Amino acid sequence: MFIYDNVSVMKNKLKQIIIVSSLALMGCAVSPPENWRTINTDKLLKCGNRPNCVSSTDDREKFSIDPLYFNDSPEEAMDRLVQVLNNQDRTEVLEVLPTRIHALRKSAFFGFKDDMFFVLAKEQGIIHLRSSARLGYSDFGVNRKHIEKIREEF
């Protein structure tokens, strides 16, 4: 056991411990919870209770948003959506499967991350979507605005 004769040395060590612990906790906070992913390839999870999410499968007014509609083949629609996402600022397509897409968008100023999930419902001619912030309580409508921009370009 170390005994510190100098109080300032102890304070510095305590500060270092607090900083390292805080950084470790922040690292956990910015990782998406596993339950944000789709349950399976047919359904997206509803938004929680924080107003930082929109979903076409959530029927609550403040979270609900229309899905993307398409008239071409499901494959062409998904390819077109990937192209639209690749053309968005600060957006990275992380996963592309025949019936599902996962993309990540970062905010311009602080680099906050929003997860976007798109799930194909080919029999209905639609692509369901969910976009939500990883951090914070409210996103001030940013996810809704971003999805509407994607819709315009789709």
- Nearby residues of 31 by Cβ (< 8 Å), 6 or more positions away: 134
Q: Give domain limits for the chain.
A: 1-30, 33-153
Residue 115 CB-density burial (10 A; 0-12 exposed, 13-18 middle, 19+ buried): buried
Number of CB atoms found within 10 A of residue 84's CB: 18
In this predicted model, what pLDDT tens digit does every residue of 58-83 receive, in sequence order?
A: 999 999 999 999 999 999 999 999 99
Number of CB atoms found within 10 A of residue 80's CB: 16
Say which residue, 113 or 12, is predicted with more confidence.
Answer: 113
89-114 average pLDDT score: 93
Q: What are phi and psi of 134, to 5 degrees?
A: -80, -30
Beta strands at 126-133 and 68-69: parallel, antiparallel or unpaired: antiparallel
Cβ atoms of residues 46 and 55 within 8 Å: yes
Among 15-24, 79-88, 93-102, 142-151, where is mean pLDDT lowest? 15-24
| pLDDT over threshold 90, residue 36 | no
Give domain 33-153's CATH number out of 3.90.330.10, 3.40.50.300, 3.30.310.80, 3.90.1150.10: 3.30.310.80
17-25 average pLDDT score: 53
